A and B are shown apart, each in its own frame.
Chain A
Amino acid sequence: MIHTVTITDTNEKYTCRGKQHLLAGMIQLARKGIPVGCRSGGCGVCKVKIISGDYQTKIMSREHVTEPEEEEGVVLACRVFPLSDISLQVVGHLNKAVTRNQMKNS
């Protein structure tokens, strides 16, 4: 399965194939500054907010995502597996990295 992911902050799109999590696809954008951390839901650097779309999650650190946050779609990208096309907003570390480089690129 291939799903398209839209970063609403910059209107960039990337794809997630098969069992790829949201961060794996984003890394392939090969944009400098995408913080690649533990890729295991423990370090919290890859926080995003899902705006729309269906997804499955694996357990992620409560130090970085509280239960109410998770209910609102605030998740760690490395623990989210899309089941449909997704649109998301970058928050925290990711926001700085994605939007800073966007400004440089444009």
Chain B
Amino acid sequence: MAMTGILRPGHVQLRVMDMEEAVTHYCDNMGLIETDRDDHGRVYLKCWDEQDKFSVVLEPSDRAGMDHMAFKVRTEQDLWRFESNVKNFGIDTKRVAAGELNGCGERIRFTAPSGHTFELYAEKEQVGNGLPTLNPAPWPEDIKGMKAIRFDHCLLYGVDHDENIRLFTEALEFELTEQIVDGDVQVAAFLSCSTKAHDIAFIRSEEPGKLHHASFLLGSWEQVLRAADIISMKDIPLDVGPTRHGLTRGMTIYYFDPSGNRNEVFAEDSYRYPDSPVLTWEASNVGQAIFYHSRQLVDSFMGVTS
């Protein structure tokens, strides 16, 4: 088994200002499944094809944005190893007790140089993907809306970009897959801990700790167009798309949840192996890097975060 260390983005905890509107958006419109609620008022959701109990936590708040993003590591030894890596990098870590999030084991919590809070954990209750493990059907029949398959990645705007990327590549063992550069300055970094085109991406910014989008995988370009239909049908504020990215090649559409957190659903992006070359886009060609067809940057897409 080649995959070790950090396996994947395990969950994202998003702040929402109206819980029932948020649950309707993520469940009825996007197809996530509610798996639990806790006495802090948090609601736990998963996409249908995830085995673990939750990949999105909605937290009641008076503002929008991301509370934290958590990565699942393969073993408990990995958890302690990354804890000491992060400490040795010079960043304080905190242990959050098992069960603080329902069904999640002990978590290591820290604030990255970008200003975002990240967590690592090794254990989460598995509830399955709704299909048997013996002679499984290809998909469950009762999934709603866009039928999101899994929580895939976040794109974050943050400060201290270079130091932040050093934390992710050196201490957390992510690999750079694609980047936008302006001369010597890296403007955007796409990082992978797996064979995915990215598991997280960062944009150099002046404001710490901002969420650009939380992204979910769909099965095909046709499913992205179907998501676009749902966005119009349900009056969901559209941002950009459907279109194709140059970066990662994904086919994509962007829209906002009822608290103003941007979501993406996408399909058919590229993949990588540890021996794949890093792909570089020049800032002079940033329009095409981001929106391959129109080659035009969109103000709201570049400027609006939560």
Residue with the highest number of chain B CB atoms closer than 10 Å, among A37, A42, A43, A62: A42
- Encoded as 1 (CB less than 8 Å from any B CB) or 0, chain A from 52 to 81 comes to 000000111111100000000000000000
B25 nearest in chain A by CB position: A40
Bound together, the chains give a CA A36 to CA B304 distance in angstroms of 9
A19 smallest CB distance to B (angstroms):
10
Interface size class of A (residues with CB under 8 A): 10 to 19
Asked if A61 and B256 sit within 8 Å, CB to CB, the answer is: no
| Contacts A43-B260, A59-B18; A38 near B62 (Cβ below 8 A) | no
The answer to whether B304 and A45 have CB atoms under 8 Å apart is yes
Contacts of B260 in A (CB 8 A): 37-43, 61
Q: Distance in Å from the Cβ of A39 to the closest Cβ of chain B?
A: 4
A-B pairs with beta carbons under 8 A, tally: 66
Residues A42 and B303 in contact in the complex (CB < 8 Å), given A59-B18, A61-B62, A63-B65:
no
Is B299 positioned at the interface, with any CB of A under 8 Å from its CB? yes
A42 and B261 contacting across the interface, CB-CB below 8 Å = yes
* Contact in complex: A61, B63 (CB < 8 Å): yes
Cα A62 to Cα B303 in complex, Å, equals 19
Given the complex of chains A and B, what is the CA–CA distance between A38 and B304 in angstroms?
Answer: 7
B115 to chain A, nearest CB (A): 14
B64 and A43 within 8 A (CB): yes
Of chain A, the residue at the smallest CB distance from B239 is: A38
A42 touches B17 (CB 8 A): yes
B304 surroundings in chain A (CB, below 8 A): 35, 37-38, 43, 45
Residues of B within 8 A of A (CB): 17-18, 62-65, 237, 256-262, 299-300, 303-306
A-B contact pairs, 7 of them (CB 8 A): A35-B300, A35-B304, A37-B303, A42-B63, A43-B260, A43-B305, A61-B64
